[in-house]
Amino acid sequence: FQRGLPFIQIPTTLLAQVDSSVGGKTAINHPSGKNLIGVFYQPRLVLIDVDTLKTLPRREFVAGVAEVIKYGVILNPELFALLEEKLSAFLRLDPDLLTAVVKTCCQLKALVVEEDETEGDYRAILNFGHTLGHAIESATGYKRFLHGEAVAIGMVFAAHLSSKRGHCDVQIKERICRLVKRAGLPVILPKELKDEHLLRSMAI
């Protein structure tokens, strides 16, 4: 807008606090796919107050947990183990735990973005679960699933595929699936979604 105004992000959803407010990706959706039109443009500041999360509908908060789990899987086994241990407290919005976890996710994301701001290669690690996730959102007209819910199905699918191909330990795959389920997120791809449609979206 206006060739780039300085701006500050003040995210008020869990998903935005741990992921989308940091790193400068901006985009709008297109009927052909999610986030297809946009640029990399960094905010001057990201200002986060986890108190705002108390105002969220439950479903919206839980959807954000998918991105938190993502950080545990891709970059930080300690975070993953912490979620396994303290998921109930996290889902109860324990303020100290929330603050610590949101901070960790932002730090992890900042490290990735510092290394590869415009997604030459390494930043793609942040897209874990998103290839199928975005395809599910597109196939369902962005109406049926929240982003985090679609990513949850995508992460479980990616772990399953990876384990089938011998890249991911079966126990790891099961831990991912168990944690996603325990968080109250979906893990199953709806049967009525057509493979051709999903594969087309995944290829874009």
Report 112-151 residues binding ligand GLY (CB under 6 A): 123, 126
DSSP string, 166-186: TSS-HHHHHHHHHHHHHTT--
Among residues 26 and 84, whose Cβ is nearest to ligand GLY?
A: 26
Check 103, 127, 175, 181 and give the catalytic one. Answer: 127
Q: How many residues bind ligand GLY (CB under 6 A)?
A: 6
Which of 14, 16, 18, 19: binder of ligand GLY (CB under 6 A)? 19
Q: What Å distances lie between residue 143 and 140, 147, 151, 201, CA to CA?
A: 6, 10, 14, 16
- Within positions 34 to 63, which residues make up the interface with ligand GLY, using CB under 6 A? none
Among 25, 34, 134, 173, contact with ligand GLY (rule: CB under 6 A): 25
Which is nearest to 104 in space by CA: 90, 119, 118?
90
Stretch that binds ligand GLY, among 16-24, 81-89, 150-158, 183-191 (CB under 6 A): 16-24
Q: ∠ at Cα 202 (197, 204), nearest 5°?
A: 105
Burial state string for 140-151 with b = 16 or more CB within 10 A and e = fewer than 16: eeeeebbbbbbb
Shortest distance (Å) from residue 123 CB to ligand GLY: 5
Identify which of residues 70 and 173 has a Cβ nearer to ligand GLY in the complex: 70
What interhelical angle do 147-164 and 58-75 show, nearest 10?
30
Rounded CA-CA distance 15/63 in Å is: 7
Known catalytic residue at 127: yes
CA–CA separation, 38 vs 66, rounded Å?
23
CB of 43 closer than 8 Å to CB of 16: no
| Distance, CA of 185 to CA of 181 (rounded, Å) | 5
78 tagged catalytic: no
CA angle 60, 191, 140 (to 5 degrees): 45
3 is catalytic: yes
Candidate segments 15-23, 47-55, 169-177, 190-198, binder of ligand GLY by CB under 6 A: 15-23
The nearest distance, CB 72 to ligand GLY, in angstroms, is 15
Q: Check 60, 84, 117, 119 and give the catalytic one.
A: 119
Q: Interacting stretch for ligand GLY, rule CB under 6 A, among 20-28, 79-87, 153-161, 179-187?
A: 20-28
The residues of the shown chain that bind ligand GLY, judged by CB under 6 A, are 19-20, 23, 25, 123, 126
Catalytic residues: 3, 25, 67, 109, 119, 123, 127, 130, 134, 147
